[in-house]
């Protein structure tokens, strides 16, 4: 009958050795994720294009200048940029092999991400309560969709990071968890970069 991986490892030593096509599975997943990020970039590019076409189509409703409150947005930006930094610290601790600190920095990252999402929801709620809804104008449709898509990405990242933290607590640092942390942090940095564009194109250009 077939053997489980553990049996093979115990009988033949290191499993990588006997993986005779010797493809680095974890490395391939990282490459796959990079390619996924390329396609995600194109997704955001399409949304940005739509936003740029529609940003002046306010249909008599409020424009960005009237709606955006820069202090809140700046706080959001600050939280997210910091979280990107702390996720970098997490990866550094992982390289050092320190699980506790790795999890610690991931928790800090996730909390900052949570602050970001919270502030964004607060912003959205305020806008909606002022009557600036997605149904109001093409500009607002594009605004909520573009910013909301980014927000959904961040939220997804939070769930993902949480799942990884549990796995780290259970399995410690190994090839698989290492790859997972690496990919999640890559994703997190990517969202950061997208946010920088968002901040510039949507908010700064909006209030100018």
Partner 1 sequence: MSSIKDFASHFFVTGDPLIYGSDVAIVLVSLAIIFVLTYFKKWGWLWREWLTTVDHKKIAIMYLIASLLMLLRGGIDAILMRIQLAFPNMHFLQSEHYNEIFTTHGTIMILFMAMPFMFALYNAVVPLQIGARDVAFPYLNAVSFWLFFFGALLLNISFVIGGSPNAGWTAYPPLSGLEFNPGPGENFYLLALSISGIGSLATGINFLVTILKMRAPGMKLMDMPLFTWSVLASCVIIIFAFPPLTVALALLLIDRLLGAHFFTMAAGGNPMMYINLFWIWGHPEVYIVLLPAFGVYSEVVSTFSKKKIFGYKSMVASMMIISVVSYFTWLHHFFTMGAGADVNTFFAIATMLIGIPTGVKIFNWIFTMFRGRIRLTQAMLWTIAFIPCFAIGGATGVMLAIAPADYQYHNSYFLIGHFHQALIGGVVFGYLAGLYYWWPKMFGFKLDERLGVWAFWFWQIGFYVCFMPQYALGFMGMTRRIYTYPDGLGWGSLNLVSTVGAFLMGVGFIIQVWQILYSIKYGERDVTGDPWDGRTLEWSIPSPAPLYNFAVIPHVKGMDAWWMMKQEMKEKPAQIKPIHMPKNSGIPFIMSVFFFIAGFGLTFHWFWMGGFGLLGVAVCMFIRSFDYDTDYYITVDEIKRAEAS
Chain residues binding partner 1 by CB under 8 A are 1-5, 7-8, 12, 15, 18-21, 23, 27-29, 31-32, 35-36, 38-40, 42-43, 45-47, 49-50, 53-54, 57-59, 61, 134-139, 141-142, 144-145, 159-160, 163-164, 166-167, 171, 176, 180
Q: How many CA atoms lie within 13 A of 163 on its CB side?
A: 8
Q: Smallest gap, in angstroms, from Cβ of residue 194 to partner 1?
A: 13
How many C-beta neighbours within 10 Å does residue 200 have?
11
CB of 102 to partner 1, least distance (A): 17
Nearer to partner 1, 20 or 71 (CB): 20
Q: Is 77 or 109 the residue whose CB approaches partner 1 more closely?
A: 109
The residue (of 166 and 197) whose beta carbon lies closer to partner 1 is 166
Whether the CB-CB separation of 145 and 54 falls below 8 Å is answered with no
To the nearest 10°, the Cα dihedral for 154, 134, 70, 86?
A: 0
CA angle 165, 151, 40 (to 5 degrees): 85
Q: Residue 14: how many CB atoms within 10 A of its CB?
A: 9
Rounded least distance, CB 62 to partner 1, Å: 13
The residues, ordered by sequence, that sit 6+ positions from 42 with a Cβ below 8 Å of its Cβ are none
Sequence-distant (6+) residues with CB within 8 A of 103 are 165, 168, 169
Q: Work out how close the CB of 38 gets to partner 1 at its nearest, in angstroms, rounded to a whole number.
A: 6
**Shortest distance (Å) from residue 81 CB to partner 1:** 25
Q: Which of 31, 154, 175, 165 is nearest to 84 (CA)?
A: 154
In the numeric block, the tokens 């909006």 are attached to: 206
Looking at beta carbons only, is 119 or 168 nearer to partner 1?
168
Nearest residue (CB) to partner 1, 98 versus 145? 145
Closest to 44 (Cα-Cα) out of 205, 159, 152: 152
Judged by beta carbon, residue 46 or residue 74, the one nearer partner 1 is 46
Min dist CB 188 to partner 1, Å, is 16
């Amino acid at each position: 009958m077939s053997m489980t991986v553990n049996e093979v490892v115990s009988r033949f030593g290191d499993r990588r050795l006997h993986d005779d096509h010797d493809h680095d599975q974890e490395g391939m997943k990282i490459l796959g994720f990079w390619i996924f990020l390329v396609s995600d970039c194109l997704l955001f590019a399409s949304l940005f294009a739509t936003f740029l076409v529609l940003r002046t189509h306010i249909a008599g409703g409020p424009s960005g200048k009237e709606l955006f409150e820069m202090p809140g947005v700046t706080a959001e930006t600050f939280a997210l940029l910091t979280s990107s930094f702390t996720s970098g610290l997490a990866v550094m601790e992982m390289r050092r092999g320190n699980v506790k600190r790795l999890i610690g920095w991931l928790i800090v990252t996730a909390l900052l991400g949570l602050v970001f999402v919270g502030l964004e929801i607060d912003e959205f709620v305020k806008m909606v309560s002022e009557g600036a809804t997605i149904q109001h104008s093409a500009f607002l449709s594009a605004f909520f969709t573009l910013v909301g898509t980014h927000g959904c990405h961040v939220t997804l990242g939070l769930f993902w990071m949480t799942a990884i933290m549990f796995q780290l607590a259970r399995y410690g640092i190994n090839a698989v968890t290492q790859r997972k942390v690496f990919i999640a942090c890559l994703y997190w940095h990517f969202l950061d970069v997208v946010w920088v564009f968002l901040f510039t194109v949507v908010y700064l250009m909006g209030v100018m």
